[in-house]
């Protein structure tokens, strides 16, 4: 079940190298060194995967849902039994603290399989009755071969979040994890083999987005694409898939606002705001990166928040005291640093962080940076408009509810927002006006698997989660029967 040095694709039930025989380097972000290799797949590998999925589809889609329930539950069991092995691999592959991988990423990955295994046996569709005349019922059928493409920030968590509902609904899948974090997806292949998933039902192709990923989107036999990643990649995928009328679910970038009113529970807000700003080094699409604070508590907030940010421990992902590990790659570290320089050019004051951490020994070449808090920037500047996706937040005061809402809504994004207040009517008013797919009131990252998940505006299209995911992965057919 464990990680290997040379990863393989999972096609037609077997672990195989890329047709080209080529491999890409896989880097451990904490050491900055190559530690394994993944197949550099291209359209030939994707074609094989799609053909295997097509062959598997009639039997899998026609199978009793209890069979799908049993197999998906077995996959969940295997992940759960190997929690530690998966968590260690996820931490090495992504640079995130082992404690986070063990308490968040891997438990959620097994929960995704378990949730959709159960959901499919309770799934029902509607009927519409015209008394004495007709009865309509909605037949929901799987789409066929579908593509699932996921990013690096929550590797197995987001990969399984797509694959599990697609399989539960009776589809066969060609999936691609991020080339930056392929390891746990590879280990999932082994779990699927052990669980007895019939060959071809799930195929995992590793490689670069522009090559292997694009080949999945291009394939005329792939009926739908469920994608999570950057907004620009989403645009490219939409441009390719729309003329072929493929069904699309796009979960894209964010620039999430966190609105803090003076009447909030200050201590609770402070603890959660630290988490919402810097969990996983700010590399969660739901992290709040623009913090708006009502003026009467602005200075109190700023001083306390900066102090607590400076206390965060950055370093060895396997040390129990570590709060933040390494950023995922050198390129990402450079991107984050470039935004900190930009913030200064734009007139911002870096109150803390933004500098690289000097590490010793095996972590000397790792991608570590101190979390940054910046003030003094207008909403219109690039630092406040563009997604950084790192441990960088800006803070600014506001005077009125209207002003806070206008600033919160003032970007192209609309993924998640957080509101802190003890006044329920104010919370409701603000939630109603926020252009955001998710609004958390007095909490952050409470993610109930049953709820619709997704963004507005440039943060995406469609919704995942619960019944929304099962609806996405099925075609509704209206069958109308006339009374005799
Ligand atoms: P990315 O868009 O670079 O890559 C995402 C995936 O798409 C990878 O597997 C990549 O190989 C693949 N890909 C790249 N080009 C492709 C193409 N032309 N065709 C098909 N596939 C292609 O994103 P990333 O850097 O891996 O992830 C970070 C981004 O993901 C951030 O913008 C973040 O906000 C977003 N994200 C969004 C959510 C959400 O639910 N809305 C969740 C997590 C991350």
- In whole angstroms, give the CA distance from residue 407 to residue 384: 10
Residue of the nearest CA to atom 19 in ligand 1? 214
Residues 71 and 91 in one domain: yes
Q: Tell me if 134 sits within 8 A of 480, measured CB to CB.
A: yes
Give a yes or no: residue 106 inside a domain. Answer: yes
Q: What is the pLDDT of residue 443?
A: 98
Q: Which atom of ligand 1 lies nearest, measured to the CA of 151?
A: 26
Residue of the nearest CA to atom 35 in ligand 1? 229
Query: Does pLDDT of 116 surpass 90?
Result: yes
Residue 175, phi then psi, degrees to nearest 5 = -125, 150
Distance 403 CA to ligand 1 centre (A): 32
Report the domain count for the chain.
Answer: 2
Q: Which atom of ligand 1 lies nearest, measured to the CA of 180?
A: 26
Residue of the nearest CA to atom 11 in ligand 1? 209
Residues 372 and 304 in one domain: yes
Residues 229 and 284 in one domain: no
Residues 163 and 271 in one domain: no
The enclosing domain of 171 has a CATH number of: 3.40.605.10
Question: Is residue 420 classed exposed, middle or buried when 0-12, 13-18 and 19+ CB atoms within 10 A define those classes?
Answer: buried
Q: Tell me if 281 sits within 8 A of 96, measured CB to CB.
A: yes
Q: How much is the average pLDDT of 250-278?
A: 98
Give a yes or no: residue 304 inside a domain. Answer: yes
The domain in which residue 241 lies consists of 9-252+459-480
Residues 352 and 376 in one domain: yes
Distance 460 CA to ligand 1 centre (A): 12
Give a yes or no: residue 464 inside a domain. Answer: yes
Query: Does pLDDT of 138 surpass 90?
Result: yes
DSSP 40-108: ---HHHHHHHHHHHHHHHHHHHTS-HHHHHHHHHHHHHHHHHTHHHHHHHHHHHH---HHHIIIIIHHH
Residues 222 and 320 in one domain: no
Residues 429 and 331 in one domain: yes
Residue of the nearest CA to atom 10 in ligand 1? 209
447-460 CB burial, b ≥16 within 10 A, e <16? eebeeebbbbbbbb
- In whole angstroms, give the CA distance from residue 45 to residue 342: 41
Give a yes or no: residue 453 inside a domain. Answer: no
**Tens-digit pLDDT profile for residues 405-426:** 999 999 999 999 999 999 999 9
Distance 251 CA to ligand 1 centre (A): 9
DSSP 125-153: --EEEETTTEEEEEEEEE-SEEEEE--SS
Question: Is residue 347 classed exposed, middle or buried when 0-12, 13-18 and 19+ CB atoms within 10 A define those classes?
Answer: exposed
- In whole angstroms, give the CA distance from residue 335 to residue 331: 6
Q: Which atom of ligand 1 lies nearest, measured to the CA of 207?
A: 11
Q: Report residues whose beta carbon is within 6 angstroms of any ligand 1 atom.
A: 149-153, 158, 176, 178-179, 209-210, 213-214, 217, 228-230, 233, 236-237, 251-254, 285, 387, 389, 415, 455, 459-460
Q: Which two tokens stand for residue 270?
A: 């402070």
Q: What is the pLDDT of residue 66?
A: 98
Distance 461 CA to ligand 1 centre (A): 14
Residues 92 and 235 in one domain: yes
Q: Tell me if 41 sits within 8 A of 205, measured CB to CB.
A: yes
Q: Which atom of ligand 1 lies nearest, measured to the CA of 229?
A: 30
The enclosing domain of 274 has a CATH number of: 3.40.309.10
pTM (predicted TM-score): 0.97
Residues 247 and 288 in one domain: no
Q: What is the pLDDT of residue 247?
A: 97
Residue of the nearest CA to atom 8 in ligand 1? 178
Q: How much is the average pLDDT of 350-365?
A: 96
Distance 159 CA to ligand 1 centre (A): 11
Q: Which atom of ligand 1 lies nearest, measured to the CA of 178?
A: 9
Give a yes or no: residue 454 inside a domain. Answer: no
Give a yes or no: residue 81 inside a domain. Answer: yes
Residue of the nearest CA to atom 23 in ligand 1? 229
Residue 109 pLDDT level (bands cut at 50, 70, 90): very high
**Tens-digit pLDDT profile for residues 366-391:** 999 999 999 999 999 999 999 999 99
Residues 467 and 417 in one domain: no
Residue of the nearest CA to atom 12 in ligand 1? 209
**Tens-digit pLDDT profile for residues 69-98:** 999 999 999 999 999 999 999 999 999 999
Q: Which residues are catalytic?
A: 251, 285
Give a yes or no: residue 435 inside a domain. Answer: yes
Q: Tell me if 354 sits within 8 A of 333, measured CB to CB.
A: no
Distance 162 CA to ligand 1 centre (A): 13
DSSP 265-305: -HHHHHHHHHHHHHGGGG-STT-EEEEEEEGGGHHHHHHHH
Query: Does pLDDT of 278 surpass 90?
Result: yes
Average pLDDT of the residues of the chain: 98
Give a yes or no: residue 170 inside a domain. Answer: yes
Residues 97 and 242 in one domain: yes
Q: What is the pLDDT of residue 1?
A: 79
Residues 321 and 469 in one domain: no
DSSP reduced 3-state for 469? helix
Distance 450 CA to ligand 1 centre (A): 23
Q: What is the pLDDT of residue 95?
A: 98
Pocket test for ligand 1, best of 219, 229, 231 (most atoms within 8 A of CB): 229
Residue 484 pLDDT level (bands cut at 50, 70, 90): confident
């Amino acid at each position: 079940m464990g990680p290997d040095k040379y990863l393989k694709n999972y096609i037609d039930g077997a672990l195989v190298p890329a047709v080209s025989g080529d491999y890409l380097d896989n880097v451990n972000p904490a050491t900055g060194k190559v530690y394994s290799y993944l197949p550099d797949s291209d359209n030939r590998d994707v074609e094989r995967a799609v053909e295997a999925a097509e062959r598997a589809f009639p039997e899998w889609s026609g199978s009793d849902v209890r069979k799908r329930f049993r197999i998906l539950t077995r996959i969940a069991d295997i992940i759960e039994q190997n929690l530690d092995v998966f968590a260690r691999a996820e931490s090495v592959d992504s640079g995130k603290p082992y404690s986070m991988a063990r308490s968040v990423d891997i438990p959620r990955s097994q929960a995704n399989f378990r949730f959709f295994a159960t959901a499919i046996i309770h799934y029902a569709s509607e009927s519409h009755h015209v008394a004495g005349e007709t009865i309509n019922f909605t037949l929901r059928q799987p789409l066929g071969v579908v593509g699932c493409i996921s990013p690096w920030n929550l590797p197995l968590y987001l990969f399984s979040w797509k694959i599990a509902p697609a399989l539960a609904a009776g589809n066969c899948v060609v999936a691609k994890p991020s080339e930056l974090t392929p390891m746990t997806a590879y280990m999932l292949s082994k779990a699927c083999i052990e669980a007895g998933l019939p060959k071809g039902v799930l195929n995992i192709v590793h490689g670069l987005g522009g090559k292997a990923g694009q080949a999945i989107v291009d394939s005329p036999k792939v009926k739908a694409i469920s994608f999570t990643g950057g907004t620009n990649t989403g645009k490219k995928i939409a441009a390719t898939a729309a003329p072929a009328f493929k069904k699309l679910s796009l979960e894209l970038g964010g620039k999430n606002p966190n609105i803090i009113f003076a009447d909030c529970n200050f201590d609770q807000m402070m603890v959660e705001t630290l988490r919402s700003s810097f969990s996983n080094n700010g590399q969660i699409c739901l992290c709040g990166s623009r913090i708006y604070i009502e003026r009467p508590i602005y200075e109190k907030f700023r001083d306390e928040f900066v102090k607590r940010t400076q206390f965060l421990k950055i370093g060895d992902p396997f040390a129990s005291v570590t709060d933040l590990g390494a950023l995922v790659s050198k390129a990402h570290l450079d991107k984050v640093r470039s935004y900190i320089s930009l913030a200064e050019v734009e007139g911002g004051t870096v109150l803390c962080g933004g500098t690289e951490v000097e590490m010793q020994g095996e972590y000397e070449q790792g991608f570590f940076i101190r979390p940054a808090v910046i003030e003094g920037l207008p909403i219109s500047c690039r630092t406040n408009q563009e997604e950084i996706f790192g441990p960088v937040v800006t803070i600014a005061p506001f005077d009125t509810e209207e002003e806070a809402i206008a600033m919160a809504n003032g970007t192209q994004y609309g993924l998640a927002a957080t509101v802190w207040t003890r006044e329920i009517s104010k919370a409701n008013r603000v939630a109603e006006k926020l252009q955001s797919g998710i609004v958390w009131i007095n909490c952050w990252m409470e993610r109930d698997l049953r709820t619709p998940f997704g963004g507005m505006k440039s943060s995406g299209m469609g919704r995942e989660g619960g019944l929304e995911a099962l609806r996405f992965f099925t075609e509704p057919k209206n069958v109308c029967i006339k009374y005799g």
